[in-house]
Amino acid sequence: MSTELLTVLENIEREKGISLQVLIESVEAALVSAAKKVIHDKDKEVDVKIDLETGKIKILSEGKEIVSSEFGRIAAQTAKQVIFQKIREAERDVIFNEFNQKAESITTGTVYRFEKGALLVDLGKTEGVLPKREMSPRDSYHQGDTIRAYILEVTKTAKGPQIILSRCHPGFVKCLFHLEVPEVSDGMVEIMSVSREAGDRTKISVWSKNEKIDCVGACVGIRGSRVKGVVKELQGEKIDIIRWSENVEEYIQAALSPAEVSAVKILNREEKKAEVIVSDDQLSLAIGKNGQNVRLASKLTGWSIDIRSKKEIVKEKLEANMTSGLPEAPSQGVESIDGVGPKTAEALVAAGFKTLDDLKNASDETLLAIKGIGKKALEKIRSTALAVPKESVPPAQAAQPGEEK
C-alpha cells in the first residue's frame, strides 16, 4: 500500500466518519483473503503488517513473504469485495451510533415515500420510518414536506440501522418545550411529567426550584408566544400546563384543570388512590369528554382518581343515616365549630368529614386543600376537634338510661 492509498483512506475517514484504524483493518482483512487465494490454503495463517508512515505492506505466511504482485485477478477481486463490505459495515455502525445517541430527541427530515401507510423520511445519512401508529390523527404530509419527529427507537438490522420515528409519543411534546422555552433547555424549569392523547389533548406538569421563576408563565410565554409554537407543531392539539407540587392533594387538584375541585381526599397512599369532590356543575368538566380529563390527570400524577359530586356524597350520607336510624343531619357536628360558616361546613361534609372525630384523623394538607379553609380556620378546627371526647355523639343521639346501647 502506497502513501496515495493512505490519503484515499483519510479522505474516506473525513467523508463518512469511519475511523482510519477501522479502514486499515478492512484493508488488512482484504489482503489476508487475497493472500489465501494465492497460496490455495485457507487453513494457513497469514499475517499482514502495514507501516502507517510509509504505507509499506508486508504479507507473511509461515515466515514466507508473499508479494502483492503475485495476486491474480480473482485475488484482487476478492480483496476489493472485502474492502467494500468492511467499509459498508463500518459506515452502518457509525450511523447507528450517531442516531442511537440522539434517541429520545427530535430530528428533522424530508418525506420522500409512502409505504403501507408509513412515511419514509430522508434523514441525510439514512432513512427513518414513521409508522401510522406513531402519527397524530391531525398529521397530514406530502412527498417533499419537511417533518420533525421524535426518535423513538434505533435498532441494528441486516440492511443497516432502522430508525423508528414518532409524532404521538409524550416525549415529542417534552422535546418541543425544550426547543421553545429557554428556561426548560437550561434546566431552570423542569418538566416533571407529560400525559398525552395525541391529536386531542396533552397535560404537562412543570416545576422550578427557584421560587422566583413562574414556571407555568415561562412555558406559556408572553401572550402565549411559546406554547403557540408547540401547538402549531402539533397541528392545534390542546395543551394544559400545570404547576407540579409535592403536595399530592394540590397536584391532583391542579391536574384536573380546567375543572374547579372542592376537595381531594387520599384513600390509600401506598396504592395511590384518591377521591375528588366537585360541585355538580363541575362534574362533567372534571371527568371530561369520554373520561379524557380524569384519564390524563391520572396518568400525569400517577394516581388512581375517583371523581364524585357533592350531590352524590350528600345523598349517600342521607341514605346511610336513614339506614342506621340517625336523624338527617350529617353536618351538625361540623357546623358547631366556631368560625366555620355553612359553605365551609358543607365543603367539609362533601369531603367525607361527618363528625369532629373524622377531623381528628385528617392531615393538615388534606384540610387546607378544601375550599374555604385557611390557616386560621384550620387552627379553630384543630382546637375544637381535640376538645371533643373520642366517639362523642350529640345529646339527642345519646342512649337514655335504661335503654339498650
pLDDT tens per residue across span 7-16: 777 787 787 7
Low-confidence ranges of the chain (pLDDT < 50): 1, 326-332, 390-405
For residue 365 the three cell numbers come to 394538607
Q: Do 10 and 112 belong to one domain?
A: no
CATH number at residue 141: 2.40.50.140
Residue 153 lies in a domain: yes
pLDDT at 399: 38
How many domains are there within the chain?
3
The answer to whether residues 270 and 288 touch, using CB atoms and an 8 Å cutoff, is no
Give pLDDT, residue 188: 95
Residue 386: predicted pLDDT: 63
User: pLDDT tens for residues 119-163?
Assistant: 999 999 899 999 999 999 999 999 999 999 999 999 998 888 999
Residue 338 lies in a domain: yes
Domain assignment present for 205: no
335 with 371, same domain?
A: yes
| Domain co-membership, 9 together with 118 | no
Same domain, 57 and 34: yes
Asked if 88 and 47 sit in the same domain, the reply is: yes
pLDDT of residue 139: 93
Domain that residue 76 falls in: 3-100
- Both 279 and 299 in one domain: the answer is yes
Q: Is residue 57 part of a domain?
A: yes
| Three-class secondary structure assignment of the chain | CCHHHHHHHHHHHHHHCCCHHHHHHHHHHHHHHHHHHHHCCCCCCCEEEECCCCCCEEEEECCEEECHHHCCHHHHHHHHHHHHHHHHHHHHHHHHHHHHHCCCCEEEEEEEEEECCEEEEECCCCEEEECHHHCCCCCCCCCCCEEEEEEEEEEEECCEEEEEEECCCHHHHHHHHHHHCHHHHCCCCEEEEEEEECCCEEEEEEECCCCCCCHHHHHHCHHHHHHHHHHHHCCCCEEEEEECCCCHHHHHHHHCCCCCCCEEEEEECCCCEEEEEECHHHHHHHHCHHHHHHHHHHHHHCCEEEEEEHHHHHHHHHHHHHHHCCCCCCCHHHHCCCCCCHHHHHHHHHCCCCCHHHHHCCCHHHHHCCCCCCHHHHHHHHHHHHHCCCCCCCHHHCCCCCCCC
Is 375 exposed, middle or buried (CB count within 10 Å of its CB: 0-12, 13-18, 19+)? exposed
Grid cell listed for 159 = 440492511
Domain-embedded: residue 93:
yes
Residue 255 placed within a domain: no
Answer yes or no: do 35 and 79 share one domain.
Answer: yes
Per-residue model confidence (pLDDT) at position 332: 44
User: Cα(287)–Cα(317) distance, rounded to whole angstroms?
Assistant: 23
Residue 321's pLDDT is: 65
Q: Residue 213 and residue 313: Cα distance in Å, rounded? A: 39
Residues 156 and 276 in one domain: no
Q: Are residues 316 and 361 in the same domain?
A: yes
Q: Give the CATH number for residue 335.
A: 3.30.300.20
Of 166, 187, 202, the domain-final residue: 166
One domain for residues 270 and 382: yes
Chosen domain end from 118, 147, 166 = 166
196 within domain boundaries: no
- Give the Cα separation of 197 and 288 in Å (integer): 13
For the chain, the residue count is: 405
User: Residue 36 is part of a domain; what is its CATH number?
Assistant: 3.30.1480.10
Single out the residue in 139, 166, 193 at which a domain terminates. 166
Q: What is the pLDDT of residue 379?
A: 80
In a shared domain, residues 95 and 107:
no
Strand pairing category for 238-243 and 190-197: unpaired
For 249, the grid coordinates are 392533594
Tell whether 179 is covered by a domain.
no
Within this chain, do residues 295 and 356 fall inside the same structural domain, yes or no?
Answer: yes
